[in-house]
Amino acid sequence: MKNYVNISDLNNLQNTVQDAIDLKKNELQSKTLGEGKTICLLFFNNSLRTRLSTQKAAQNLGMHTIVMNFGNEGWQLEFEDGVVMNENKSEHIKEAAKVIAQYCDIVAIRAFASLTDKEKDNAEMVINSFIKYAGIPVVNMESATKHPLQALADAITMEEFKTTKKPKVVLSWAPHPKALPHAVANSFVEMMQLQEADFVITHPEGYELNSEITKNSRVEYNQEKAFENADFVYVKNWSSYKDYGQVIKKDADWMITEAKMKLTNNGKFMHCLPVRRNVVVTDEVIDSENSLVIEQANNRTYAAQIVLKKILEKIGC
Amino acid sequence: MKNYVNISDLNNLQNTVQDAIDLKKNELQSKTLGEGKTICLLFFNNSLRTRLSTQKAAQNLGMHTIVMNFGNEGWQLEFEDGVVMNENKSEHIKEAAKVIAQYCDIVAIRAFASLTDKEKDNAEMVINSFIKYAGIPVVNMESATKHPLQALADAITMEEFKTTKKPKVVLSWAPHPKALPHAVANSFVEMMQLQEADFVITHPEGYELNSEITKNSRVEYNQEKAFENADFVYVKNWSSYKDYGQVIKKDADWMITEAKMKLTNNGKFMHCLPVRRNVVVTDEVIDSENSLVIEQANNRTYAAQIVLKKILEKIGC
Amino acid sequence: MKNYVNISDLNNLQNTVQDAIDLKKNELQSKTLGEGKTICLLFFNNSLRTRLSTQKAAQNLGMHTIVMNFGNEGWQLEFEDGVVMNENKSEHIKEAAKVIAQYCDIVAIRAFASLTDKEKDNAEMVINSFIKYAGIPVVNMESATKHPLQALADAITMEEFKTTKKPKVVLSWAPHPKALPHAVANSFVEMMQLQEADFVITHPEGYELNSEITKNSRVEYNQEKAFENADFVYVKNWSSYKDYGQVIKKDADWMITEAKMKLTNNGKFMHCLPVRRNVVVTDEVIDSENSLVIEQANNRTYAAQIVLKKILEKIGC
Tell whether the model's pLDDT for residue C218 goes beyond 90: yes
Tell whether the model's pLDDT for residue C249 goes beyond 90: no
Q: What percent helix, strand, coil does chain B show, rounded to 5?
A: 40, 15, 45
Please give the average per-residue pLDDT across C175-185, as a whole number: 97
Confidence of residue A1 (pLDDT cuts 50, 70, 90): confident
List the one residue out of A70, A67, A45 whose CA is nearest residue A56: A67
Helix (H/G/I), strand (E/B), else coil: B251: coil
The per-residue pLDDT for B135 is 96
The per-residue pLDDT for A249 is 87
Give the burial class of C243: count Cβ atoms within 10 A of its Cβ; 0-12 exposed, 13-18 middle, 19 or more buried: exposed
> CA–CA separation, A54 vs A51, rounded Å?
6
Question: Which amino acid, one-letter code, is at B12?
Answer: N
Please give the average per-residue pLDDT across C44-66, as a whole number: 97
Mean per-residue pLDDT of chain A: 97
Q: Do domains B7-146+299-315 and B149-296 have the same CATH topology?
A: yes
Q: Count CB-CB contacts under 10 A for residue A238.
A: 23
Give the burial class of A164: count Cβ atoms within 10 A of its Cβ; 0-12 exposed, 13-18 middle, 19 or more buried: exposed
Helix C93-103 and helix B293-315, axial crossing angle in degrees, nearest 10: 30
HEC string of C54-90 equals HHHHHHHCCCEEEEEEHHHHCCCEECCCCCCCCCCCC
Q: What percent helix, strand, coil does chain A show, rounded to 5?
A: 40, 15, 45
State chain A's maximal CA–CA distance in angstroms: 60
Tell whether the model's pLDDT for residue C251 goes beyond 90: no
DSSP B21-34: HHHHHTTTTTTTTT
Residue to substitute from A43, A103, A133, interface C, most C β-carbons within 10 A: A103
Cβ(C94)–Cβ(C133) below 8 Å: yes
> CA–CA separation, C16 vs C8, rounded Å?
12
List the one residue out of B253, B304, B243 whose CA is nearest residue B280: B253
Percent above pLDDT 90 for chain A: 97
Q: Which partners does chain A have (≥3 C-beta pairs < 8 Å)?
A: B, C
Q: Cα-flanking dihedrals φ and ψ of residue B65, to 5°? A: -120, 135
Give the burial class of B222: count Cβ atoms within 10 A of its Cβ; 0-12 exposed, 13-18 middle, 19 or more buried: exposed
DSSP A59-125: HHTT-EEEEEEHHHHS--EE-STT----SS--EEHHHHHHHHHHH-SEEEEE----SS-HHHHHHTH
User: Which region holds residue C215: left if phi is over 0, alpha if psi is between -120 and 50, else beta?
Assistant: left
Q: Of the given ranges (A278-287, B69-78, B300-309, C198-207), which has the lowest mean pLDDT?
A: B69-78
Percent above pLDDT 70 for chain B: 100
> CA–CA separation, C48 vs A71, rounded Å?
11
Please give the average per-residue pLDDT across A100-122, as a whole number: 97
Chain B: residue whose CA lies nearest to C95 = B294
Residue to substitute from A75, A85, A132, interface C, most C β-carbons within 10 A: A85
The per-residue pLDDT for B1 is 86
| Sign, Cα dihedral of B50, B53, B54, B55 | positive
Tell whether the model's pLDDT for residue A317 goes beyond 70: no
Greatest mean pLDDT among B71-75, C56-60, C73-77: C56-60
The per-residue pLDDT for A274 is 98
Q: Which partners does chain B have (≥3 C-beta pairs < 8 Å)?
A: A, C
Q: What angle do CA B52, B56, B59 make, to 5 degrees?
A: 140
Model pLDDT for residues A8-36, shown as the tens digit of each residue: 999 999 999 999 999 999 999 999 999 99
The CATH fold of domain C7-146+299-315: Rossmann fold (3.40.50)
Please give the average per-residue pLDDT across B99-122, as a whole number: 97
Q: Cα-flanking dihedrals φ and ψ of residue C119, to 5°? A: -65, -45
> CA–CA separation, B102 vs B11, rounded Å?
28
Q: Cα-flanking dihedrals φ and ψ of residue B42, to 5°? A: -105, 120
What residues of A are in the C interface, CB distance below 8 Å? 36, 38, 40, 64, 66, 68, 72-75, 78, 81-87, 90-92, 94-96, 98-100, 102-104
Q: Count CB-CB contacts under 10 A for residue C165.
A: 7
- Distance from the C85 Cα atom to the nearest Cα atom in chain B, whole angstroms: 5
Residues forming beta bridges with residue B169, ordered by sequence position: B199, B232
Tell whether the model's pLDDT for residue C254 goes beyond 90: yes
Please give the average per-residue pLDDT across C138-148, as a whole number: 98
Give the burial class of B220: count Cβ atoms within 10 A of its Cβ; 0-12 exposed, 13-18 middle, 19 or more buried: middle
Confidence of residue B72 (pLDDT cuts 50, 70, 90): confident
Cβ(A175)–Cβ(A250) below 8 Å: yes
Beta-carbon contacts of residue A119 (< 8 Å; ≥ 6 apart): none
Tell whether the model's pLDDT for residue C33 goes beyond 70: yes
Q: Check CB contact under 8 Å for B297 and C87.
A: no
Of A46, A53, A293, the CB nearest to B95: A293
Of A59, A287, A294, the CB nearest to B64: A59
Cβ(A198)–Cβ(A169) below 8 Å: yes
Please give the average per-residue pLDDT across C47-59, as a whole number: 97
Mean per-residue pLDDT of chain C: 97
Q: What letter does residue C127 receive in the DSSP assignment?
A: H
Q: What angle do CA A273, A192, A208 make, to 5 degrees?
A: 75
Cβ(A137)–Cβ(A315) below 8 Å: yes
Chain C: residue whose CA lies nearest to A102 = C298
Question: Which amino acid, one-letter code, is at A26?
Answer: N
Model pLDDT for residues B224-263, shown as the tens digit of each residue: 999 999 999 999 999 999 999 999 988 899 999 999 999 9
Helix B49-60 and helix C93-103, axial crossing angle in degrees, nearest 10: 10
Residue C254 among known ligand-binding residues: no
Cβ-Cβ contacts under 8 Å, B38 against chain A: 56, 59
| Sign, Cα dihedral of C102, C104, C107, C109 | negative
List the one residue out of C232, C286, C228 whose CA is nearest residue C255: C286
Question: Could you tell me the residue ranges of all domains in chain C?
Answer: 7-146+299-315, 148-296
Its ipTM equals 0.96
Q: What angle do CA B32, B34, B40 make, to 5 degrees?
A: 145
Tell whether the model's pLDDT for residue B317 goes beyond 80: no
The per-residue pLDDT for B4 is 98
Tell me the CATH number of domain A149-296, given options 2.40.110.20, 3.20.20.150, 3.40.50.1370, 3.40.50.300: 3.40.50.1370
Q: How far apart are the first and last CA of chain B?
A: 14
Residues forming beta bridges with residue B38, ordered by sequence position: B64
The per-residue pLDDT for C2 is 93
The per-residue pLDDT for A12 is 96
Residue A51 among known ligand-binding residues: no
Q: Cα-flanking dihedrals φ and ψ of residue C302, to 5°? A: -80, -30
> CA–CA separation, B56 vs C99, rounded Å?
13
The per-residue pLDDT for C161 is 98
Q: Check CB contact under 8 Å for A102 and C297.
A: yes
Q: Check CB contact under 8 Å for C278 and A73.
A: no
List the one residue out of B278, A85, A49 whose CA is nearest residue C177: A85
Q: Count CB-CB contacts under 10 A for residue A283.
A: 15
> What is the CATH number that goes with domain C148-296?
3.40.50.1370
Model pLDDT for residues B143-200, shown as the tens digit of each residue: 999 999 999 999 999 999 999 999 999 999 999 999 999 999 999 999 999 999 999 9
Q: Which strand (E) or helix (H) includes residue B67? A: strand B64-69
Model pLDDT for residues A135-176, shown as the tens digit of each residue: 999 999 999 999 999 999 999 999 999 999 999 999 999 999
Model pLDDT for residues C91-141, shown as the tens digit of each residue: 999 999 999 999 999 999 999 999 999 999 999 999 999 999 999 999 999
Q: Check CB contact under 8 Å for B73 and A56.
A: no
Confidence of residue B62 (pLDDT cuts 50, 70, 90): very high
Q: Count CB-CB contacts under 10 A for residue B229.
A: 13
Tell whether the model's pLDDT for residue C72 goes beyond 90: no
Nearest-Å Rg of the Cα atoms of chain C is 20
Q: How far is CA A239 from the centre of its chain?
A: 16
Beta-carbon contacts of residue A14 (< 8 Å; ≥ 6 apart): A194
Please give the average per-residue pLDDT across A64-86, as a whole number: 94
Cβ-Cβ contacts under 8 Å, B31 against chain C: 36
Of A52, A279, A301, the CB nearest to B84: A279
